[in-house]
Structure 1
Amino acid sequence: MARKRKRPLIFVCDLTPGTTVDSCFFLRQIAPNAGNGPKLRARIWDRTGEAALIVWEWDPRVALADGPYRVVGTVGTYAGSVQVCADRLEACPLEADLMELLPAAPRPIAAMWADLERLCAGCGSPPLRALFNLILADQALCERWQQAPAAVRHHHAYLGGLLEHSLGVARVALAIADHYPALDRDLLLAGALLHDLGKTEAYRIQGTPDMTDQGRLLGHVYPGAYLVHRFIERLPDFPPELRDRLLHLIGSHHGERQFGVLEVPKTPEAVVLHYADNVDAKLSAVFAACQQANGQAWTAPVRSLQDERVFVGSGNAAPAMPDPGTLDLLDDPFQGSLFACDDPDA
C-alpha cells in the first residue's frame, strides 16, 4: 500500500494576499458570532507569527477549542493586515508534523545538549559526576529534558526552553562561583542543572506548552527533588550530607515560601542558585522587550520588573543580544506574558 504523502506546511509569514491556503495552523481567540458579519472569528498562529481568520458560514452548535486545525480558504487583507477567509476548518491529518509549527529555542537542541554533557563531564566531585552519569543514561528522561518548555507563559515557554534555561542558570551560577571561591562549585553546578528537572514531568512535551495533571497538582519543585532523590538512592556510596545539600538547592530555588519552596535558601549555594535562576529568567525578559521595542526609546511594561519599562536609548537602537542560549528571542504566541515572575511555574 502506498504511503500517504505528507502535505508541506505553510507558515503564517508566507501567507500572501490573493492566494489560496490549505495548511495546518493553531487557532486561539475563537469567537462565534450570531449577528451580522462573519459567523466565526479567530486568530491563527505558528512559530512565525499570527493572522486573523474569519468564517462566513458556521454552525454555532459546533464548538471549537484552541488547538491545531486544517485551514482551507483564501488569503486577503483587512485594515492593512493579512486575513484568512476559511471555507473549511477540520482536524489536522495524522501525518501532519505539528511540532514544526511550534516555537523552539533559538539554539539547536543538539548543541545545547552537548554543552550540558560537557558541563556534567567536567564536574570534579566523583559522587555528583556519578549522579550525572546515571541521569544522562535515562534516555526517556533526557528526551523530555531536551523537549520540555521551562514554563507555560512566563519564560522560555517553547520547545527546548527547559534545557536552555538550565544551561543559562548554570552559566550565571558558575560565573558567581568564579568570583567567590568559597562556594562549592560542583554542588552549585549540580543544583543549577537539576533545579528544574521536575518540569520534565510537570509540563507537556507535545503540542503547545501546558501543564500535566501532575504538574497542576504538585508543581515541579517537590517532584524535581523526589526525582533526583530516587537517582541518588541507586548510588549507595553517595554522601548523605551532599544528598541533603543538593536536595535543598532544588527545594529552595524559588526563594520564598509563597512561591512554592520546600524550604527557604539556607546555604550559600542555595542563595546563589535562587538569584541565578531569577537573573536568567528576568534578563531574558528584559532583552526580549528591548528587541521588541521597534525603534522606541522605551520598552513595553516588563512584568517581571513590576510592569516598569526599560530604557533602550535615545538612538532607538536595541542593545545587542547576549548569548541566545540564555534568552527568549521569540514573541509570545500563547497570549500570556513571556516575562518571568516569581511564582510556582516560573
Structure 2
Amino acid sequence: MDKKQMITDLSLNSRINDVFLLKNKEFKVRRDKKTIDMFFKIADKTGEIEAINWDVSMDEVDELRSIQFAHIQGYITKQKDDGSLQATISSIVKAAPLDLDYSDYLPQSKENLDELMKKLWLKIKSIENSYLRALLKAFFDDPQFAEKFKRTPAATKVHQPYIGGLLEHTLSVVTICEAICNIYKEIDRDFLITMAILHDIGKVREYAYDKVIEHTDEG
C-alpha cells in the first residue's frame, strides 16, 4: 500500500488519514481515576508530531501498547508557539505488516551516503602508517561491513538517529581530529584519525533498522 500522506504534508486543521509509526506512548489516568488518555507521537521518515487519543478504555490499553504501525485518523488541532503541531486522534487501527514499505518510516540522512563513503575512503588512503591503513582496510574492504557502516544510525535519539547517521558522525569526528592535528603537530595523526574512524564501529551491530531504529539484542 502506497503511503500518500507524510508528516511534512500536515499543517493546522489538516485531516490525518494514513499509516504512521507510533512512538513514545504514555497512558495517563485523569483525576477521576477512571478516564485514560493516550499521549504519543506519530512519525514517518519526514518527521514526527505529538498526538493525543482521548478517553481510552482500560481494555484498549494493552492492545494500543503493542501496536507499532497503525492507520491513524484525526486532525491537526493545535500549533504551538514554536511551530510544532499537535494532533487529536479519533481512530487507531493496527496496520497489516504486508501492506507496509518500512522505508517510508525510517528517517534518513539528507547527505549523499555514497559521496560520504568516498570521503571516508580518502581519509583511509591518507593514512601513511601501513599497519594502521591495513587495519582500516580489513574492515572497509568487506562489502557487507562497509554497507552496514554506511547505513547504520549514530543513535536511536538525540544525535543523528537516522539512516547514515554513523557515517556522518564519524566524518565529523575525523574533521575535528584533523583540525587538532593541524594545531598540535606533535600528535600522531595516523593513529588519531584511525581511532576516529573506528571509534564507533560497534554500532553496526548495536542497532537494527529494518523496520524501526532500535537496539539489537546484542546491542
Q: TM-score per shorter chain, which class?
A: 0.7 to 0.9
Query: Structure 1 residues 84 and 166 mapped into 2: Cα distance closer, same or farther (>3 Å)?
Result: same
Give the paired residue count. 209
Matches within 5 A, 1:287-326: none
Check whether the contact 2:75–2:87 (CA below 8 A) recurs between aligned residues. Answer: yes
RMSD of aligned Cα (Å): 2.9
Q: Structure 1 residue 173: deviation in Å?
A: 0.9
The alpha carbon displacement at 1:94 in A equals 2.4
User: Could you say what secondary structure the match of 2:22 adopts?
Assistant: strand
Q: Does 1:117 align with 2:121?
A: yes
Greater CA drift, 96-105 or 192-201: 96-105
Q: Distance in 2 between matches of 1:39 and 1:49?
A: 19
Give, in angstroms, the shift of residue 194 of structure 1: 0.7
Length-normalised TM-score, structure 2: 0.78
Partner of 1:71: 71
**Aligned with residue 128 of structure 1, among 120, 126, 132:** 132
* 1:13-37 per-position Cα deviation (integer Å, ceiling 9, x unaligned): 323525351222333224276845x
| Secondary structure in 2 matching 1:123 | coil
Assess, with a 3 A threshold, how the Cα gap between structure 1 residues 129 and 55 changes in structure 2: closer, same or farther. Answer: same
Contact 1:71 1:86 in 2 (8 A): no
Residue identity matched to 1:71: H
1:144 partnered with 2:154: no
Provide the rounded CA distance (Å) in 2 between the counterparts of 1:200 and 1:79.
38
Give distance in 2, aligned partners of 1:61 and 1:164.
39
Distance change (3 Å), C-alpha of 1:64 and 1:72: closer
TM-score, normalised to structure 1, is: 0.52
Matched-pair identity in %? 25
3-state SS of 1:74 partner: strand
1:51 counterpart residue number: 50
Q: Could you list the runs of 5+ residues in structure 2 that have no partner in the other structure? A: none
1:167, CA displacement in angstroms? 0.8
The answer as to whether partners of 2:3 and 2:104 remain within 8 angstroms in 1 is no
Call closer, same or farther: CA 1:61–1:165 in 2, change over 3 Å. closer
Distance in 2 between residues matched to 1:28 and 1:57, nearest whole Å: 16
Instruction: State the shift of 1:76 in Å.
Output: 4.4
Equivalent in 149, 161, 171 of residue 167 of structure 1: 171
Match of 2:184 among 162, 180, 192: 180
Contact 2:38 2:53 in 1 (8 A): yes
* Secondary structure, counterpart of 1:174 in structure 2: helix
Q: Is the 8 A contact 1:11 1:101 kept in 2?
A: no
8 Å contact kept, 1:12–1:51: no
Which of 20, 25, 34 aligns to 2:21? It is: 25
What are the superposed Cα offsets for residues 213-249 of structure 1, whole Å, 9 maximum, x if unpaired? 222xxxxxxxxxxxxxxxxxxxxxxxxxxxxxxxxxx
- Give a deviation string over 1:261-292, Cα, whole Å, max 9, x none: xxxxxxxxxxxxxxxxxxxxxxxxxxxxxxxx
Deviation of the 1:115 alpha carbon:
0.9
Give the corresponding residue for 2:9. Answer: 14
Quick one: structure 1 residues 172 and 27, their matched pair in 2 at CA, closer, same or farther if it must change by over 3 Å?
closer
Q: Which residue in the other structure is 1:204 paired with?
A: 208
Q: Is the 8 A contact 2:76 2:86 kept in 1?
A: yes
Residue type of the partner of 2:137? N
| Unaligned segments of structure 1, at least 5 residues | 1-5, 216-346
Residue 185 of structure 1: CA displacement?
Answer: 1.5
Measure the CA separation in 1 of the matches of 2:192 and 2:199. Answer: 10
